[in-house]
Structure 1
Amino acid sequence: MAAVVQGDQGPREPWLASFLKAEGQAWLFVAKAMLALYLALWLAMWLQLEKPSTTILTVAIVMHPQSGMVLAKSFYRALGTCIGSIFGLALMALVPQQRELFLAGLSLWVALCAGGATLYRGFMAYGFVLAGYSAAIVVLPAINNPIAVFDSAVMRVSEVLLGIAVAGLVSDTVWPERLSAMLRRSAREQFAHFLDFARSSIDTEMARTDVEQAYLRFVRSAVQLENWRAAVVFEDPERHSSRSRRYRLAM
């Protein structure tokens, strides 16, 4: 009877272990995201912010399984929001009674930010986009009441920064998953794939389509690794100083 019970329990334990290994991190991220959302909502209502929904939306946008990605996206979101709000205040202060000049200046600012977003990729482009539409969000609702623009800018920045602070705190303190470990693991895997491709191309003649597909896969992997390397600086500043050049060479 004991042998039967042992035989019945044997297959269940590996299945449960594999299920937890595959789904555990996903459910952990869901739990962390829900914790950050509820905490941000409570703080926004306790501080009596005008739009707690902006804080919740910020948390939902910047949350990511890896803490380095959260910090990197939060940095550029905060930077873009602050720069856009400051420009909106300056524009309203310069031409408060001249709507044509005001709309022309705002349109030019949005166009410049959109052009800057095309020159960069990753979160830096995201920061340019935010700087553009944050100015519009701050000044357009108060276009008929220029005195209220300052309060609108302060409230917008406060709501965004609160969401960023909560998301960064939860991601970096509650069972954090470091981006550096995933970056090293992915770099090793890509290097192993490259060696396999080199061996197979030497041993056998590969079709042109297979070579093109492999080349595109290597390019996508290289771009992804470079984006991760740029984000891991926020998680481990030491990589930006002493080991940055050596880390790029290792990759």
Structure 2
Amino acid sequence: MVYPTLRDWLFSVKTFAAAMLALYIGLAFELPRPYWAMATVYIVSNPFVGATRSKAIYRALGTVLGASGAVLLVPPFVESPYLFSVIVATWTGTMLYLAVSDRTARSYVFMLAAYTMPIIALPSVTNPTGVFDLAVSRTLEIIVGIVCASIVGSAGVSEPARADDHRAHRRMVSRRRVLRDRNAIRPYRKLGDFRRAATAREHDQRPRTAAEPARLRSHAARRARARA
């Protein structure tokens, strides 16, 4: 059984403190749904301060984009339920497609915009005049959670950044080693000699020459003729 480390306990306490602070601010300012601010803290929090800030910024941008889309699309199309449903589905599908297509951290913006718009637009069908207030309140609650998570996450005692860099470097080296081993095994599998795949790492340690693939193909051809 792996027990939580001191860093894990510190991260848990700081996240809980940020969530309670966001909830208190939401209740103090009488926001309609203060639990959104508390949930935002747990969503954007990360043991690394830089990751928390990056995700918080992208979440804020995605929320603003989705809220703006709801404010623009609800009033003119709310009287046509079928057309409005198609528009909401098109918006959601398009944003999710952009989120899946974008391999960078910016994809979080499109994902947030994809589900923020229907969350605001669909409850406003019965009261279209309140869509603007609902969009503003959700945006404020999300921003409150983001600000609390960023401030509390940056405060207190944290592990030196040098140790984080060393761990990140070790993970990068480990991933490169795994990719190198996979690339070393692949040519032997293509040639059909599976027994040599087990010793591919040893072959990968020695220097390679331009003529080696040709020798491997000729060796495989000789083994095939011998078996025939």
Maintained 8 Å contact 1:55/1:163: yes
Structure 1 CA distance for aligned equivalents of residues 40 and 199 of structure 2: 42
Correspondence 1:172 to 2:154: yes
Structure 2 counterparts to residues 33-52 of structure 1, below 5 A:
33-52=15-34
Q: 1:187 to 1:155 in 2, by over 3 A?
A: same
Correspondence 1:142 to 2:124: yes
Give CA-to-partner distance per residue, 1:204-223, whole Å, 9 cap, x none: xx9525759xxxxxxxxxxx
Deviation at 1:93, TM superposition (A): 2.9
Q: Which amino acid aligns with 1:44?
A: G
Structure 2 counterparts to residues 103-114 of structure 1, below 5 A:
103-114=85-96
Which residue among 208, 217, 229 is the counterpart of 2:197? 208
Structure 2 CA distance for aligned equivalents of residues 50 and 37 of structure 1: 17
Maintained 8 Å contact 1:49/1:155: yes
SS at match of 1:65: coil
SS at match of 1:123: coil
Structure 2 counterparts to residues 1-251 of structure 1, below 5 A:
23-121=5-103, 123-177=105-159, 182-188=164-170, 190-191=172-173, 208=197
Structure 1 CA distance for aligned equivalents of residues 20 and 27 of structure 2: 11
Structure 1 CA distance for aligned equivalents of residues 179 and 101 of structure 2: 32
Structure 2 CA distance for aligned equivalents of residues 160 and 193 of structure 1: 35
Alignment correspondent of 1:233: none
Q: 1:190 to 1:84 in 2, by over 3 A?
A: closer
Deviation at 1:171, TM superposition (A): 0.9
Percent of counterpart pairs with the same letter? Answer: 30
How many residue pairs were aligned?
188
Deviation at 1:178, TM superposition (A): 6.8
Alignment gaps of 5+ in structure 1: 1-18, 213-251
Give CA-to-partner distance per residue, 1:125-166, whole Å, 9 cap, x none: 222111011000111111021101111101111111100010
Alignment correspondent of 1:13: none
Q: Which amino acid aligns with 2:131?
A: V
Q: 1:181 to 1:76 in 2, by over 3 A?
A: farther
Structure 2 CA distance for aligned equivalents of residues 125 and 197 of structure 1: 25
Structure 2 CA distance for aligned equivalents of residues 54 and 27 of structure 1: 24
Alignment correspondent of 2:188: none
Q: 1:195 to 1:30 in 2, by over 3 A?
A: closer
Structure 1 CA distance for aligned equivalents of residues 69 and 162 of structure 2: 36
Maintained 8 Å contact 1:68/1:178: no
Alignment gaps of 5+ in structure 2: 185-194, 202-228
Give CA-to-partner distance per residue, 1:56-113, whole Å, 9 cap, x none: 1100111111101101111111111110000011001332322222211111100101
Maintained 8 Å contact 1:65/1:177: no
Q: 1:108 to 1:211 in 2, by over 3 A?
A: farther
Structure 1 CA distance for aligned equivalents of residues 107 and 54 of structure 2: 12
